[in-house]
Chain A
Amino acid sequence: MAHLKPPVSERDQQTGNANAPVTLVEYGDYQCSHCAHAHPLLKQLVEEEGGELRFVFRNFPLSQSHPLATLAAQAAEAAGKQQKFWEMHDMIYEKLDGLSRDSFTAFAASLGLDLEKFDADLESDDIAAKVESDFESGIRSGVNGTPSFFINGERISSYDGSYESLQAAVAQAAQDGSRESV
């Protein structure tokens, strides 16, 4: 239990260094307050550990509890079709207050996206399937709520809401990795 299935691939939304020794995967929901809390911490982590870290976001929307969670996930993935996944990802987390169904098109406009393409992608089977397959991979990896984190394929339970707990987990994995390669 609690291994990441399937492993990170080119299908995943990722940032940081693609060849980094440490890969951190988050399963998150855009309307989950704990994920919104973690968002600036993760941004800071990617900035500070940039060379050492690859960060991957997989969607785990709890759509029955959070009515806009699935649409938000689709909006970020649709923006990803125009190479603006992370910009949309940040914008949604930063503008959760007053979020509505219409917000996403407004966000897309402010990011300078092709709106016709964005609207078509937002409703496409392809994007819906990506979000569903992220969710299913979460279930199979033992995700039981959001946010859930995996480092180099293993679930971590040390995150306690603080930046330091994330940083320590990444530092530990970097150390373990360098020991293995010696």
Chain B
Amino acid sequence: MLLEKGTAAPDFELASTPDKNIKLSDLKGKRVVLAFYPADWSPVCGDQMALYNEMLSFFEKYNAQVIGISVDSKWSHKAYTENSNLHFPLLADFEPKGKISKLYKAYNEEQGRSKRALYVIDENGTIQWSYLSPDGENPGADGILEALEKLEND
């Protein structure tokens, strides 16, 4: 079970690059799409992070910042970001391993990595939507866009 709608999103601060951290509470005033995912270097063409990378203008339209989180290190994220030409932050839930994924009920203890879980958090830091996808299945972005649209109309 993921954290429910209406819950205050637990705050965290994680490394996004070797010399930069991102703190969730610093993003107040913006909507945040948190995408927990199992690992960098997925072998498929057009994987989940590559898809979101193509959608940055849509997220911007809804005043939303997309953020990926996995247990990979900041060095792996750096190489993966460069290799895939990504233009949004990937956070390293690396030490203590999986701490933030666990806070968000998005950690696979058996495999030792994040699950594929999506959260949409509103401008005030409250969780408004979540979705848990099977590990092997890219959830796409239709659910995220619907959730952002709903926030816009409420």
Interface hit among A47-55, A134-142, A173-181: A134-142
Q: Does B139 contact A (CB under 8 A)?
A: yes
Number of chain B residues whose Cβ lies closer than 8 Å to a Cβ of chain A: 22
The distance in angstroms between the C-alpha atoms of A2 and B47, with both chains bound, is: 17
Which residues of chain A come closer than 8 Å to B1, judged between CB atoms? none
Residues of B contacting A143 in the complex (Cβ-Cβ under 8 angstroms): 140
Residue B54 interfacial (CB < 8 Å): yes
Q: Report yes or no: A142 in contact with B140, Cβ–Cβ below 8 A.
A: yes
Q: In this complex, what residue of A is CB-closest to B131?
A: A1
Does A43 touch B at the CB level, under 8 Å? Answer: no
Q: Is A17 part of the contact surface with B, judged by Cβ < 8 Å?
A: no
Please state if B51 and A145 are interface contacts (CB–CB under 8 Å).
yes
In the assembled complex, B39 has its CB within 8 A of some CB on chain A? no
A77 proximal to B (CB < 8 A): no
Cβ of B50: which chain A residues have Cβ within 8 Å of it? Answer: 62, 64-65
Contacts of B48 in A (CB 8 A): 144
**Which stretch in A28-36, A92-100, A114-122 binds the other chain?**
A28-36
Q: By the criterion CB–CB under 8 Å, are A64 and B86 in contact?
A: yes
A-B contacts counted at CB < 8 A amount to 58
Question: Is the pair A64, B85 in contact by a Cβ cutoff of 8 Å?
Answer: yes
Given contacts A136-B58, A139-B58, A144-B51, contact A62 B142 (CB under 8 A): no
Contacts of B138 in A (CB 8 A): 144-145
Q: In the bound complex, do residue A64 and residue B84 qualify as a contact, i.e. CB atoms below 8 Å apart?
A: yes
Q: Which residue of A lies closest to B57 (CB)?
A: A132
Contacts of B87 in A (CB 8 A): 64
CA distance A142 to B47 in the complex (A): 13
Nearest Cβ in chain A — how far from B153, in angstroms? 16
A34–B143 CB distance below 8 A: no
Distance from A6 Cβ to chain B, minimum over Cβ atoms (Å):
13
| A147: min CB distance to chain B, Å | 10
Taking the nearest CB of chain B, how far is it from the CB of A1, in angstroms?
A: 6
Residue of B nearest to A135 (CB): B54
In whole angstroms, how far apart are the Cα atoms of A101 and B151 in the complex? 41
28 contacts between A and B (CB under 8 A): A32-B45, A32-B46, A33-B45, A34-B45, A61-B54, A62-B45, A62-B50, A62-B54, A64-B50, A64-B53, A64-B85, A64-B87, A65-B45, A65-B46, A65-B50, A139-B140, A139-B141, A139-B145, A140-B145, A141-B142, A142-B142, A144-B51, A144-B138, A144-B140, A144-B141, A145-B44, A145-B47, A146-B45
Q: Which 9 A-B pairs have the closest CB atoms?
A: A145-B46, A144-B140, A144-B138, A142-B142, A142-B140, A64-B85, A64-B53, A62-B46, A139-B141
Given A1-B140, A144-B46, 16 further pairs, Cβ under 8 A: A1-B142, A29-B46, A32-B45, A34-B45, A62-B46, A62-B54, A64-B54, A65-B84, A136-B58, A139-B58, A139-B142, A139-B145, A141-B142, A144-B140, A145-B44, A146-B45
